[in-house]
Structure formats: structure tokens, C-alpha cells
Structure 1
Amino acid sequence: MGADMMGWEPAGQRWAARASLASAALAVLLPVGFGGVTGLLLVAAGLVGAGLTAAAVWWALANRGPVRVLAALVAVAVPVGLVTLFAATLWWAPLVSAALWTLAVWAGRYALRSTGFRAPRQKEYRTPAPQRPFLIMNPRSGGGKVGRFGLTEKAESLGAQVALLDPEKHQDVTVLARDAVARGADLLGVAGGDGTQALVAAVAAEHGVPFMVVTAGTRNHFAMDLGLDRDDPAASLDALTDGVELRVDLGYAGDHPFVNNASFGTYAAVIQSPAYRADKVGTALDLLPDLLTRKQGARLTARVRRTVLTDPHAVLVSNNPYRTDDPLGLGRRRRLDSGVLGVLGVRVDNAAEAAALLLDPQPAGLTIMTAREVVVDADRPEIEVGLDGEALTLPTPVHCRITPGALRVRVPRHRPGVPEAPPRLNWRRLRKLAASVGRTAAPRRAGWRTWGG
């Protein structure tokens, strides 16, 4: 029986909590104690400098010409100047303080990890290997990974039928997948980008056949959150002979499926440009000033349960929520079977609001929620949408929804897996844990919660 169930905490957990609190206190007090009034002034200067840097970044993105150049210089010069000032004034204290803070975070997470605050592992289902698998492969995806890793040859050696897309002409992967099912395919798979995966996944969900992902895309966001090996696409094919199934949710924007997210607003408008694929940075810098100052682009309204987001610059609706509690986990999802959409809304109308995004723990311009349905409307009959990175235009309003457990995803039994999310630091719980004498400070039942869930 574990320590939590017995009601007693191991000594190592208590001491880790005490070490975390002590290290955090020293990390804050050391610069002030070493520098005295100068230390306090430098801490204040650091906060002001962080806000000024965020404001300068906004000015650089929202303007062109000399103003952009000047703002960019400020955005670089302020952090460099602060680092130089701290090093010249406090010498070793900032380095020691940073090391102490790192220790505080590590020790705190170690202490809380053993209290049961973990995301439940996704259940695996043992099912028979497919007899007539059908895989669609894009030879251009990921810079030519299909050819470089010999994916076609390996898949065919394992009994799969492979449809290799022709780079010179458009082919409807939805039609290819449906034809394959009609001919008796009992598994559909994709070696390609997330946008292609979503289209084929929708066909697999519609017909109740398993779906398989081969990590041949450029970013492989969906594969990453499935715990697949992104460095070895050929390893994904092991699922054909030695695999298990996961039940995964599927998102929809109108009638269009997505495995990752649907983006509305600034990003969606930028990727519509024909020049975006050839020059992403240059195109974004050219379009952002008019989009951020609302001279161009649709004015959005998003309805999330009883909350209305008015005039957000961007709304991201994701198939399960992205992590927001840890900078190292940004862009990743803890799980893909929670049955809810993640919603991230951003509105930044000026430099002060940009600074607030960085300095304010709960900035007014940032909204993070979860819901089963989201409605995105606009002041025009059609709006741009980025669907798993693909540019679309959809009629308004766009109804986004999630279908829980709609997708049977077959993955290799042996795979890297999704890295365990470190527990969010909770200083109040750490204080209770540090003060306990042999008895637990953790609740008997613990689980992961998402805001608004």
C-alpha cells in the first residue's frame, strides 16, 4: 500500500518541500541582501525592463519603417543592458540566485510529484493486427522523409498497400481513403502533415476503422502528443505488427476535422497569403501592422459557454487543451481523450497591454478556457481559418465541436511515450507538506484539472 493511501508521507518528500521553500526564499533575498537598496532598485529595474521589452516587441510588430527599427533595437538593448547592469553591480549574486531558483523548482516538483498529482495515463487496448492496412504517403512531407527512411518499402514488406501521392498534381486524400475502405481496408494510415492526417482520420472515424500516424511530417504535433518517435518515422510502422490502440478525440470546425487546432484571427489571416510558404517571417512582418491595429482583418466574436470574447486578435481552438502551466510544456497536450476543446483568446491593443501579458499573472487580454463547443463569428460572411496549419476560408459563424473517443489510433506497443507533465508548483501545498510531521498534506484523491473544465 502506498504512502498516500496509508496517510503517511515519506521523509524525503517533506525534506524536498522544505528545501524548495528555503531555496526560493534565498533566491529572492540574496540579491536584495547582497545589494541592499541597490538590489531593490535593480529588481524594480528588472520588472520595468521586462515590461518595456514586451512593449517594444509590440511596437516593432505593429509598425513599419523607422519606428519598427527603433522598437526592435529597444527590444534587444534593454535585456542586454539589464544583464550587464546586474553582472556589474551584484557580481555573483544573480547567478547564485538563478541556481537557487532552479533548485527550488526541481525540489518542489519532486515533492509534489509523489502526492499523486499526475495526469492519468491513456488506456491502451490490445486488438488484432490489421489484415489489409492502407497507407497514404506524401513524398514531399518533412523534406522527403518518406524516401529518406524507406517508408514505402518497409510498409509494403509488412503487408500494407501504399498510395504514394503525386507531387505534380492534386489528389483528394479523403476520396482515396474512402475508396480504400470500400475495397476492404481495415486500417487507414498517413505519412504526411497534420492537415492530411486530419482528413484521413475523419474517414477512419466515420467508418470505425483504426487510424495510424507515421511521423513523416515537418513538426508532427499530433504524433508528439501520441508519444510516437519523431526522430525515426520507420518505427511508427511497427504498429502494423506489434501495436495497441488508443481512443482519441477528434475536433471539427464546421464540417472540417482537425487533430490539433483551428486558428482564427491574425495567424489565420497571415497564412492565407500566397507568399507565406516561401517567406514566412517576411510575410508576417508585412501583414501584422495592419492586422494588429485592425486596419485589416475580420473583427471576431467567440462564444465559449457563457463567456463572450469580443474583438480578440486571435482565437485558438484545440482538440484537447494545451498546457499553459509550464513554459517547457507549451505547445503540448497532456492527453487527447479529455473530451473537451481548449480555447485560447488573445487581445492586445497597445504596448501597455503587451507588457501586461508578461507582468500580470492574470492579464485581461488573455483568456484560457475549455468547452465542448465554441462558436466563432465575425463582421463578415466568411473568415480565414488555419486548420492544422492549412489555410481555409469558412462561412460564419463557425461552430467548433469535439467528438470524444471518435478515433481509434493504432500505435506501436513500444514507443517513447508522452513525457510526464511535471506538477504545477503550489506554494501553499508545499508549505503544508514542509510543516507536516509524518502525516500527509495531500488529498486522498487527486487528479488533473483544466481551467473551466
Structure 2
Amino acid sequence: MTKAAGRGPRNLARIALLCALAALVVVAFTGLHGLLVLIAETVGLVLMAVGAWWVLAYRGVTRVVGAVLAVAAPIGVIVLAVVSEVLLPVVVALVLWFVGLALARSALRAARPPKAMPEREVPAPRRPVLIMNPKSGGGKVERFQLVRKAEELGAKVILLDTSVQQDVGELARQAVAEGADLIGVAGGDGTQALVAAVAAEAGLPFLVVCAGTRNHFAMDLGLDRTDPSTGLDALRDGVELRVDLGRVGDRPFVNTVSFGAYAAIVQSPQYRDAKTATALDALPDLLLGENGPRMTAQADDHRLDAPQALLVSNNPYAAPDVIGVGRRPRLDRGVLGVLAVRVDGAAQAAELALLGAQATGLTVMSARRVTVRADAERIPVAVDGEALILPTPVVCTLGAQPLRVRVPRNRPGVDPALQDRTRGLDWRDVVRLALVRTPAAARTEAGV
């Protein structure tokens, strides 16, 4: 690393600290009115959280009052800032603070560059077989001419007959028995998981064509979700990734397993056509414990008592921020992500809004094994968004056999920078990088 490159992270960290200090200075110059607005912002955040809790946990008049409160609180803060003539300084302070946060993350990322999942060079398949669902994603198979493009690249295509029930796992096993040296699927995440399990068992590479609705698995692999046909480029110019494949009982999953409120709501036949109305109707009974089984989860040595919602993911998601929300930086860490929520009232809802991941009602961790027990023989579970009823206890693990995923060499969604968002930003690291001259840093700046 050159001297200039070595100084880059340190300079970024110093600028980040200056932005954070500048934000505090701007607030200080607003005087008592600025301080009053900042206090009002905190109070407004609390009131928004309380209002949101009333909307979710109650019906009738309480829900209406909660909705009014959640909307009126931020409006009241803005009005107060305008009347106090400190709106512009407060906005400037907020902009400086968020710029400082972004630069701080960039500095730490530059100081310890994250590594992407290792790519392996492997020969192109000679007898690839792709299973395609013509109805998936509103007809993406036909819209993007996936059958024609796959066949032009030498693949055999099995087009599902959506008028009858078909076992995609059995179709994949039959393709393996007939000599396929790659199995792929164009469909949603649930279908992806079923075929991926067959590929993993056979030790064959697996190809993802993101023809589903949301395609979360494809997103975390870095594939272009706007054009599913680009995933087929892996057939002629691809590399291989070794990724983990989740197991819930004897069923595979590529993304998440949900327990509690969400899992119960998606069981409703009305959910697909009226998601918001169905959720609002069911949540009060679920959140207040008047409906649904009482669960206990064991994540390795950590016990989670009566979570209202529990999400177990195939590898941890990035820490929730504007950039990292809903993304998994890597899929090969060999651990499950665990997120549990337990909110017993408006006070805990406010604490969650103020403290985020530090709140007592939220648990974010990783584990190698999660066991969910309940006071019922069977519980609702959502596996990659699919509504199921499974016998208890329900055990989530990662399969011992890694999944060989063949992907295009060039993938627009690859972002190893997300890795440093699997934990929160610690300003002490930024201060040390900016101000403390370690021996390693001295050698780097000297060009050694």
C-alpha cells in the first residue's frame, strides 16, 4: 500500500469526526431554541413509537388515536422548528451528522477492506438442466424469453405445468439421474431452495435465475434482478461460489424462517390479496398474547423467552441502516442470523425506537442451531415466505454440505462493503483510526 493510500482511511476518519463535531457546534449556536427542538425531536420519536404500537396492538378508538399521534408528532416537531426559526440549522446539523456517519463507515472500510465470497474457476457445464415456472414473478419466463435463451446456451429446459401439482424436487432428482451436470431453476425463493437441496445432495453446481417476485437470494448473490436473463450468462462465462443452505427440520431454505406474528398472519387465505388489512386485523391478538402458541427459542446457549416475532436467516443480515437493510453481505459464514422481538407495551416500543439494537425488546445475534419450542404440538412457520405448519420442536441449522452456486462472472449487485454493517458503527474505532498513530499505521504511511 502506498503512502497516500495509507493516509486515506485516516483522513476520512478525521473528516468524519469534524463533521460530527460541526453538527454539535451548529446545534450549540442555535441556543435554547435549538436545544428545545432537539428535545422535541426525541419526544416526537417516542410519541411516534407509542402511536405505532397502539395502531398495531389495538383496535377501534385506540388505533385511531395511535394513527393520529404517529402522524402528528413529526409534524409538530417541524412546526416547532419553523416557529423557533431554527429549522435550517437543525437540518444542517442533521446533514452533517449523517455525512459524518457515512464517512466514518468509509474510513473503517478502507482501513480493513472487506472480502467478498471467494470465487472458484470451474469448467462450464456440458449438460445443464433448468426448471422454469412460467407463472413465477408474473410471467417473467415468457417476458424475458428465458426458455429460448437457455436453450441457445445449450441447456435443457423443463417447463412446469402450472395446471397440476408438480414436485420440483423430484423433477430435479430425475434430471440428476439422467446425467445433468448442473441444475438450475427460474422461480421464486421457495422453489429455488427445493432444487438447491437436490443439487447440494448430488454435489452438482446450482444456477439461480431470478424469475420470482422478490428474489432475495438472487439479490444477495449479486445478480441483476431487473433482467433475469443475465443469470444465464453463467452457463458460458461463470464462476462458482460455495454458500450455505439452511435447514428447518427436513426442509431447505435459502433466506429466512419466520415464527410468531408474521408466520401466523401469512397463514390467512386473505393475506395474498389484502396484506395490510389482514395484518392489522390479526396483530392485536398476536401481540397481546390472546392468540397463537407461546414460544421459547434456544439459539445455541442463549434462551429467548416468548418472542412475538422470530426471524432465523441463512447467514446474518447487515445491521439495519439506509444502505444495508435487507441484505446479507456473505452467505458462507456458517452461522444463522437470529432476530427476535418482544415488545410488551408502549414503553418498550418507545425504547426500541430510541435505542434500536440496544433495546431490551430486540435481540440480534448469530447461532449455529436454533430450536423453537411451543405449548402446542404444531405451529405456523413461514419458510422463504411460504406458509407452513410444522411439528414442534422446530430445529433450524445449516446443512453440512455447502451449495455450489454458479453465477455470472460480472454481477452488478456485489457489494462487499456491506460486511461492516453486520455490526453497529463504533465511534471509538473512528477516533482511534483518526488520532492514534499505531506502529502498523506508521509503517503503512512510510510505504513499508
Question: TM-score scaled by structure 2?
Answer: 0.93
Counterpart in the other structure of 1:372? 368
Counterpart in the other structure of 2:377? 381
SS of equivalent residue, structure 2 residue 51: helix
SS of equivalent residue, structure 2 residue 252: strand
1:93 equivalenced with 2:125 (yes/no): no
Which amino acid is the alignment partner of residue 200 of structure 1?
A: V
CA 1:9–1:160 in 2, change beyond 3 Å: closer, same or farther?
closer
Counterpart in the other structure of 1:451? none
Distance, in Å, in 1 between the alignment partners of 2:50 and 2:293 is 24
Q: Is the 8 A contact 1:344 1:366 kept in 2?
A: yes
What is the count of residue pairs matched by the alignment?
438
Q: CA deviation at 1:169?
A: 1.9
Q: How does 1:184-199 map to 2 (within 5 A)?
A: 184-199=179-194
Which amino acid is the alignment partner of residue 215 of structure 1?
A: C
* 2:271 maps to which of 270, 276, 286: 276
* 1:307 maps to which of 279, 302, 305: 302
Which runs of 5 or more residues in structure 2 are unaligned? none
Which runs of 5 or more residues in structure 1 are unaligned? 445-453
CA 1:320–1:153 in 2, change beyond 3 Å: closer, same or farther?
same
Identity of aligned residues (%): 56
* 2:68 maps to which of 64, 73, 79: 73
Counterpart in the other structure of 2:429? 429
1:44 equivalenced with 2:52 (yes/no): no
Which amino acid is the alignment partner of residue 429 of structure 2?
A: R
Counterpart in the other structure of 1:146? 141
Q: Is the 8 A contact 1:115 1:442 kept in 2?
A: no
Which amino acid is the alignment partner of residue 78 of structure 2?
A: V
SS of equivalent residue, structure 1 residue 328: coil
Which amino acid is the alignment partner of residue 39 of structure 2?
A: A
* 2:224 maps to which of 229, 250, 256: 229
SS of equivalent residue, structure 1 residue 166: coil
* 1:415 maps to which of 408, 411, 414: 411
Question: TM-score scaled by structure 1?
Answer: 0.92
Which is worse superposed, 229-238 or 90-99?
A: 90-99
* 1:342 maps to which of 337, 340, 345: 337
Distance, in Å, in 2 between the alignment partners of 1:10 and 1:347 is 45
Counterpart in the other structure of 2:58? 63
Q: Is the 8 A contact 1:340 1:372 kept in 2?
A: yes
1:393 equivalenced with 2:399 (yes/no): no
CA 1:442–1:11 in 2, change beyond 3 Å: closer, same or farther?
closer
Q: CA deviation at 1:388?
A: 0.3
Q: CA deviation at 1:325?
A: 5.4
Distance, in Å, in 2 between the alignment partners of 1:305 and 1:128 is 39
CA 1:442–1:393 in 2, change beyond 3 Å: closer, same or farther?
farther
* 1:15 maps to which of 8, 11, 17: 11
* 2:214 maps to which of 212, 219, 224: 219
SS of equivalent residue, structure 1 residue 360: helix
CA 1:368–1:2 in 2, change beyond 3 Å: closer, same or farther?
farther
Counterpart in the other structure of 2:236? 241
Q: Is the 8 A contact 2:78 2:87 kept in 1?
A: no
SS of equivalent residue, structure 2 residue 416: coil
Which is worse superposed, 348-357 or 18-27?
A: 18-27
* Root mean square deviation, CA, Å: 2.0
Counterpart in the other structure of 1:174? 169
Residue deviations 1:288-342 (CA, integer Å, cap 9, x gap): 1111111111111000122111110011111101111534212111100000111
